Amino acid sequence: MTKFSIAIHGGAGTILKKDMTPELEAEYRNALKQALDAGYAVLENGGAALNAVKAAVVMMEDNVLFNAGKGSVFTKKGLNEMDAAIMDGSTLNAGAVAGVRNIRNPVELAEEVMLHSGHVFLSGKGANDFAIKQGIKLEPDEYFYSEYRYDQWREIRDSDLYKLDHKSDKLIGLMKDKKFGTVGAVACDGNGTVAAATSTGGMTNKRYGRIGDSPMIGVGTYANNKTCAISCTGHGEIFIKAVAAYDVSCLMEYKNFSLQQACEEVVLKKLVHLQGEGGLIGVDAKGNTALVFNSAGMYRGFKNSDGENGIAIYGN
């Protein structure tokens, strides 16, 4: 049996201690711990990496603190449109959804796409129709309402600005924010199989059916037993141009980089060069984990069967 391990993120960006109250920090830490424990419990009971990442992501989708599922941000039209993906590194089977509405747990719908649609990636109304057919849990619009997200949206809904979660006074191009609340998990189970999952509400005030990197296989989410499993968070448009997750895998496959080296190459060099702020988490098939970001902070945690674990928010 290999070492088993899990890593999670709850978004990266301008997350600074000075902007955080002790109470809110405790809430985030607690939420990360719950998600980590839920995923780790699956691995400890001999479960598959795929089920571990799903369990961790579902936990965060159900928590209003994160920009995924319940806490998803509002679009230009005042709706919640969510993206998610899941991938199994042993088979390269993958499922993804984009722009889905009223789905309680988009990661579960992504898995359903993988298992029962005959396709990999479904979007919009078609994906919602598939969810209804498969009996996926739905929620009314009110379930996705939170005052915090609504106020974020109200502030900019009459402008062309779009915003990457939480509040910040910084402007990047059209964006008026630099925090990314997407959630994700990667895991390696006792059989040395890796898996990744990512889920997001995308960006406040997004329009025209904008889709970010999170649900794109090889960009925000990727898993391959030969190399690693990766889940990203950050400025989606740049992560798409960098083909971020698959790039980490390629550096390991073709250049023999270690997981940590490959993650650093992509996040600290390539993405920095492209001005792509954010980070990613990774695991290899030996159970090693890497949590790398080029932003001020990233909500994150890891736990493995060697008894090592940690939860952190800010940079060093």
- Which residues contribute to the site for ligand ASP (CB under 6 A)? 11, 67, 164-165, 180-182, 200, 202-203, 212-214, 220, 233-234, 236
Tokens encoding 94: 């993958």
Least spacing, CB of residue 232 vs ligand ASP, in Å = 6
Q: Which residue is catalytic, options 14, 75, 182, 233?
A: 182
- Distance from chain centroid for Cα 4: 20
Whichever of 182 and 193 has its CB closer to ligand ASP, that residue is: 182
Least spacing, CB of residue 192 vs ligand ASP, in Å = 28
Whichever of 47 and 236 has its CB closer to ligand ASP, that residue is: 236
Residue 275: which of 256, 295, 290, 260 has the closest Cα? 295
Least spacing, CB of residue 67 vs ligand ASP, in Å = 6
Calpha distance 196→232 (Å, rounded): 10
Active site residue 227: no
Write the single-letter amino acid at 220.
Answer: G
Which residue's structure tokens are 């994906």? Answer: 127
3-class secondary structure, 228? strand
Strands 183-188 and 5-13, by their bridges, are antiparallel
**For residue 16, with 0-12 CB atoms within 10 Å meaning exposed, 13-18 middle and 19 or more buried, which class applies?**
middle
Q: How far is CA 169 from CA 17, 165, 294, in A?
A: 15, 12, 19
> Is the distance from CB of 235 to CB of 219 less than 8 angstroms?
no
Least spacing, CB of residue 29 vs ligand ASP, in Å = 19
Whichever of 94 and 203 has its CB closer to ligand ASP, that residue is: 203
Whichever of 67 and 102 has its CB closer to ligand ASP, that residue is: 67
Tokens encoding 205: 């005030």
Catalytic residue annotation:
182
